[in-house]
A and B are shown apart, each in its own frame.
Chain A
Amino acid sequence: MTATVEPEVGKSRRRKEDARLITGRTRWTDNIALPGMLHMAILRSPAAHARIAAIDTSAAKGMSGVLAVVTGADLAEEQGSLPCAWAITPDMKNPPHPALAVDTVHYAGEAVAVVVARSSAEAQDALEAIDVDYDDLPVVLDMEAAIADDAPLVHESLGTNKNALWVFDSAEAGTGGSVDEAIAAGEVVIERKYRQQRLIPAFMEPRSVLCDPTGEQFTLWSATQIPHILRLMLALTLGVPEHKIRVIAPDVGGGFGGKLQVTPEELLVFLLARRLGKPVKYTETRSEAMATAHHGRDQIQRLTLSARRDGTITGLKVDLLADMGAYLSLVTPGIPILGAFMYNAIYKIPAYRFSCTNVFTNKVMTDAYRGAGRPEATFAIERLMDELAAELELDPMEVRERNWIRHEEFPFTTVCGLTYDSGNYEAATDKAKELFDYDGLRREQLERRERGDAVQLGVGISTFTEMCGLAPSRVLGSLSYGAGGWEHAAIRMLPSGKVEVVTGSSPHGQGHETAWSQIVADQLGVPFEDVEVLHGDTQSSHKGMDTYGSRSLTVGAIAVVKAADKVIAKARRIAAHMLECGEDDLDFAGGRFTVRGTDKGAGIGDIALAVFAAHDLPDGVEPSLDSEATFDPENFSFPHGTHLCATEVDTETGRVTIRKYVCVDDVGKVVNPLIVEGQVHGGLAQGIAQALFEEAVHDENGTLTTGTFADYLLPSAADLPSFVTDRTETPSTTNPLGVKGVGEAGTIASTPAVVNAIVDAVRHLGVDDIEMPCTPFRVWSAIHGRTADTSGGQAGGGLGSIQGGLQ
């Protein structure tokens, strides 16, 4: 008899890992201490571009507790160049990227010397005794200025500030028409320029790294999203044999792409530990994280959209400038390219051209940040849809409906050549409009306009999709990416019937341990509590491509399912032997093989024990149920949804208040609704923050002036509305679970919804754009026809002002 067991998949389980993560009583890298451990501190350049004329470390070397003071010149022979794994074009310019600057610094915050001491306090004190002479060089900050003919150069040796030009043209690719012809023939042509401001990932746990050189292998703990990639890159960069390195990403407190990196600090800790023969640890300060962990976004978008007067889009041309910062980090040049395939979004655009010029500046590198290329693309097209609607005096939803792919048209091959496997934009939109009271809010908007209310109401739409689940290896190959996009998993059946799941997708807060346990519990028919998920250690999880790009569930968990299939296949043969029947006579359900038509059966745990004993196995069968699988997706997953935002804009102060936010997301089948809800909420907060709050600002010298949380504003719950979230469920057809990614959806969708709502509220006052973040000052200035000069001066508030006041 098999009891009917409620499936685990679909249950809103609370995350099993949360108690230890939230209380911090767990293995964060900085919580780990080893005998004899030393501490590293880094002296960073205050100049954004300067030649290092001299460094005097003699005083620092004599200070209490100091074991080593090392400069770039000391490491020049062994430090190699930090890796960039994505050469987007064959002629891409890639300057040497030393972990420790040797003769020139190229951004403020770049490491110029390190101290290793017995305590972190002693290391910090010794930094102040290092004397560096800098000869200032011209600072290049603005992308448009950087590509002018006579611009000073970030890297003299390159002869240009352009990293690469990358182009996709649908006419050339044979996937669509000529955009120039479309624009020439356009009944309506809209041109816009949008700025995607620079953002700081601002993960909760600062980065930390510890290297123990005392064993046969070097063991490196790092607060990283990518332990597997890091191991390979350490080997390739430093020339250390890969098998002599073990990398552990213990519990990691957030990343948002910001820890998808091989960092100077990881290399330096490794090199110093090797040099001194003792464990060395480095944990960055929050200020160091803000200034030197890679930033995100930072693009200028020039957009041209052509359409017929009925609102049908005929062509889209995208010209980007993308700020690389001073060097190329792991995937820096490829981030804008990830957006190239998303500007057409959910719409049937017949002609499309995308070109992106990557530009070097004297700022910290940009690289992956939640959404990575797709938020920028989604913002551009969703803002343009509203602009087109305004131009044609149509309802912006009507314009979208006219152009989107209808649900009966799937699978649909886009103008970029991607095949969207499934989707139902009508269903998500219908549900969202109903939850939002779209018509009611439009009525109120009209009333407020008519009575000239000081507080105007706006409605913003974002009918987004995105490509995630990175990625089919052959697609990555076609984009010249340096690796594949598969994922690995293994399942170990323990003699007692418990299960260990090994995943190559190393979480940093996503809840893999819970979700994977739910999936395996269903696949193998074992209790949720009997599953342990192991990850993030190259010793236990020897293969993996790690966690980013909303790939864990759509790639990593599918590998888990495939491994479970193999366990069951192995167990079936043994069960047939134990139950003296043919394999075809067996049914497997609820963790039990039963002989069809009888009450005979054996549980998966019984079989695991029998395999452990191995006393009586069929001939030629190895005594193990353990299995592994590597899954390479055949396609991306394409979550989509309709986000509707109502904002109240106070025309007297410029303050924007989100009155209502409704999103209906379609992320396919859902493993754990609570985790999905959490991802959506967090994603919304981050996308709304780009629209309203966050901006990395540099002064004319290239110094980051928003280097603390007093100046770089992150919203808290008090600054956000209650979100109304719901889902439609159109299963993905390209994986056996029918799942799509959800990690980035909220971030990608929400930013344009908010900005569209703000512009919609004040469009009748002559406003058709407000630069992000839409601060009260910027909104008020736009309404009153002024330009908001945000370059500053002095006023009270913020730690920047304290610094000023103390000088």
Chain B
Amino acid sequence: MIPSAFDYARPSTVEEAVQALVDAGEDAKVLAGGQSLLPVLRMRLAAPTVVVDIGRVPELRGITEDADNVVIGAMTTHYDVARDHLVQDHASLIARATETVADPQIRHRGTFGGSLAHADPAGDLLAPALALGAVMVVAGPNGRREVPASEFFVDYFTTTLAADELLVAVKVPKHTGWLSHYEKFNRVAQAWSIVAVGVSLRVSGGQIADARVGLTNMASVPVRAVGVEQALIGQPAGADVLRAAAEHAAEGTSPGSDGNGDAAYRSQLAKVLTGRALSMAVGG
């Protein structure tokens, strides 16, 4: 398994990285944690002329906060995200989902930003980012812009990132004290999700004050289960409400089909898993 020959750039700042992408034109690939790109290169499914390795750009790594957001550097590994206190306190759904990614080796190499930019709809971090209203901080030749998750994901493996842009960080609005659960369904422990559901609830005095529900692999992009959210908000956090709300989970989705399930089966899973995720979130 030997990739085609490529030029290799190893910038040490975001500006250098963007410049490397500008110089490379259309045929560059950004190497983050490498957990998706390296297999693709080695199987020669992709043959970029330049690989821009952003592994040694210090600014891209680490987690900080501002008044309203937890800011996760794009190159922060899954392992670091999952155990980070800011993430656990203010964006617990991200932590719960990240814990389920692949296996420990991959969680030590794979990165939060790499996973989002790769945009596999079976990736576990897309739906939680969408559900929590995350905002992508993108650097390009003309400076930085911010893209809400709801606009970032376009199709299978496709985002609004231009060829000369780099995902720098992800701002996740603080959901302090929200109850979260990520219910993942796959066939073996390290496999991708066939379907998964992330829920985050703000429960106050037994009432669901606010709700965010994101679906993994229920379309070519992550999906927010708006129908479920609406059925929850303002209702008591009781079993009947949760069960009834979960019935809305497949609304507005367009799940794909593969050997692991057809659209009808994925829709069934979405409902069942949503019910379980809600119940786990409120009941622990």
CB within 8 Å of B: which residues of A?
120-121, 124-125, 128, 285-287, 652-653, 655, 693, 697, 705-706, 708, 710, 713-716, 718-719, 775-777, 780-781, 786, 788-806
Contact = CB atoms under 8 A, between A and B. Distances in A.
B262 interface: yes
Q: Is the interface of A mostly helix, strand, loop or mixed?
A: loop
Contacts of A776: 185, 187, 194, 260-261
A453 to B, nearest CB: 15
Contacts of B255: 795
Contact of A128 (B4, B216, B264): B4
Contacts of A777: 194, 259-262, 265
A250 B271 CA distance: 54
Interface string B247-258: 000000001111
B168 to A, nearest CB: 23
B192 A797 contact: yes
30 contacts: A124-B2, A125-B4, A125-B5, A285-B1, A652-B272, A653-B185, A653-B268, A653-B269, A693-B187, A710-B192, A716-B188, A776-B194, A786-B264, A788-B265, A793-B256, A793-B258, A794-B257, A795-B122, A795-B217, A795-B255, A796-B120, A796-B192, A796-B193, A796-B220, A798-B192, A802-B39, A802-B45, A805-B156, A805-B157, A806-B157
Contacts of A804: 156
Contacts of A791: 259
Given A287-B1, A776-B261, A799-B39, 18 more contacts: A125-B2, A128-B44, A655-B185, A693-B187, A775-B260, A777-B261, A788-B265, A793-B257, A793-B258, A795-B256, A796-B123, A796-B216, A797-B193, A798-B258, A799-B43, A802-B40, A804-B156, A805-B156
A121 B45 contact: no
Nearest to B260: A777
Contacts of A705: 259
Interface in B117-142: 120-123
A780 B4 contact: no
A728 B190 CA distance: 36
A796 B121 contact: yes
A248 B122 CA distance: 45
A653 B272 contact: yes
Interface pairs A-B: 6 shortest CB-CB? A797-B192, A797-B122, A796-B122, A795-B256, A805-B157, A796-B121
B211 to A, nearest CB: 22
Interface of B: 1-2, 4-5, 36, 39-40, 43-46, 103, 120-123, 156-158, 185, 187-194, 216-217, 220, 255-262, 264-266, 268-269, 272-273
A776 B269 CA distance: 10
Contacts, number: 139
A795 B187 contact: no
B256 A796 contact: yes
Contacts of A655: 185
B266 to A, nearest CB: 7
A776 B158 CA distance: 29
A800 B157 CA distance: 12
B57 to A, nearest CB: 25
A800 B156 CA distance: 12
Contacts of B1: 285-287
Nearest to A776: B187
B34 to A, nearest CB: 13
A197 to B, nearest CB: 12
A775 B257 contact: no
A714 B188 CA distance: 8
